[in-house]
Structure 1
Amino acid sequence: MGDEANILLIEDNPGDVRLVEEAFRDGQINNRLHTVTDGRAALDFLHREDGYEDAPRPDVVLLDLNLPKVDGEDVLHEIKHHPELGHVPVIVLTGVDEQLIESRDLDHDADEDAVLEKPIDHGEFIDVVREFDEFRISIVRSHN
């Protein structure tokens, strides 16, 4: 149980949520997947407010940029500028071309972040998440 990553999925499309859940199951990735469906709920989860007071700190965030209530770019900005979350890797899930994403100022310059274009390729998605999971586990082990 202690080696499970807490992964926060911020995605409003139920079909995409299902695809992510299937990819994790098929890839046999050890994790606890927490899902919120809009930007406001994401911020509440991250700040442990409004019903999310016991929420764990995520080890990895999977973030759709096109969200209701609070835009995904604002959520990304909040994560990267939060003193306790700035180090958390973010995998941006988007239907927008990756070059367009990189041309915007999304605070997306951290080495540990990635952009995956929708529709998500099952194998590529599993590989990227495993990479982050191994990175997180290696950090945990190096501190022991």
Structure 2
Amino acid sequence: MSDATPEEPIDLLLVEDNPGDVRLTEEAFKSTDSEIEFHTISDGTEAAKYVHRLHSEGPEDGLDLVLLDLNLPRIDGFAVLEALDEEFDYPPPPVLILSSSETEEDIVKSYEKNANAYLTKPDGPMEFNSMAQAIEDFWIETARHPPAPT
């Protein structure tokens, strides 16, 4: 990943246990201009293992963006946030919480554990499309990311 817009395809880790939300998210990103390669994991423990494995392979094999649900089987999204923080010696890719929870406690805790943004899951396909476009516009096209160490 470069310090500017990542090269396409964009490697996106989607950690979501609801198959319907996975489908809606993937379909929504098809409506954007970016080519997205999804790595979908439906279990918190498997997501933490994936992060560990990815980190051990080196920064050149990294992710560009993570969409993380909080309510996951086995371990929750907060534990996955901790794994990201512990595994990377440099800033991990942007992590956007995508949760149905609107509780202030979950929002505050997500930011305390270094999430880059907290998004409430949209209600339907059109809202998912709008969310995907907003993510592309800011996190893929506009935001600059620190370079991975060499």
Band the TM-score falls in, shorter-chain normalisation: 0.7 to 0.9
| 2:19 is aligned with 1:40 | no
Aligned partners of 2:107 and 2:118 also within 8 Å: no
RMSD between superposed Cα atoms in Å: 3.0
Q: 2-side partners of 1:68 and 1:85: how far apart? A: 28
Aligned CA distance change for structure 1 residues 84 and 118 (closer, same or farther; 3 Å):
same
The residue number in structure 1 matching 2:119 is 116
Give, in angstroms, the shift of residue 108 of structure 1. Answer: 4.5
Alignment counterpart, residue 76 of structure 1, candidates 59, 77, 81: 81
**In the alignment, residue 24 of structure 2 is paired with which amino acid?**
L
Q: Residue 85 and residue 16 in structure 1: after superposition, are their counterparts in 2 closer, same or farther (change >3 A)?
A: farther
- How far does residue 103 in structure 1 lie from its aligned partner after superposition? 3.0
Gaps of 5+ in 2: 1-6
Gaps (5+ residues) in structure 1?
A: none
Give distance in 2, aligned partners of 1:8 and 1:33. Answer: 6
Structure 1 outlier segments of 4+, above 6 Å: none
- Equivalent in the alignment of 2:3: none
Cα contact 1:9–1:63 (8 A) shared by 2:
yes
Inter-CA distance 99–58: structure 2 relative to 1 (3 Å threshold): same
Assess if the C-alpha contact under 8 Å between 1:6 and 1:59 holds in 2: yes
Distance 1:48 1:105, change over 3 A: closer
Alpha-carbon shift at residue 59 of structure 1 (Å): 1.1
Given that 2:13 and 2:66 are in contact with CA atoms closer than 8 Å, whether structure 1 keeps it comes out as yes
The structure 2 residue matched to 1:127, chosen from 134, 137, 143, is 134
Identity of aligned residues (%): 34
Kindly tell me: are residues 99 and 126 of structure 1, through their superposed partners in 2, closer, same or farther at Cα, counting changes over 3 Å?
farther
Q: How many residues align?
A: 136
Instruction: Please report the TM-score for the alignment, with normalisation by the length of structure 2.
Output: 0.74
Q: 1:125 to 1:31 in 2, by over 3 A?
A: closer
- Structure-1-length-normalised TM-score: 0.77
35 and 105 in structure 1: CA distance in 2 versus 1, 3 angstrom threshold: closer
1:12 aligns with 2:31: no
Write the distance in 1 (CA, Å) between the matches of 2:76 and 2:137. 27
Shift of residue 48 of structure 1?
Answer: 1.2
Counterpart AA for 2:38: L
> Counterpart in 1 of 2:100?
95
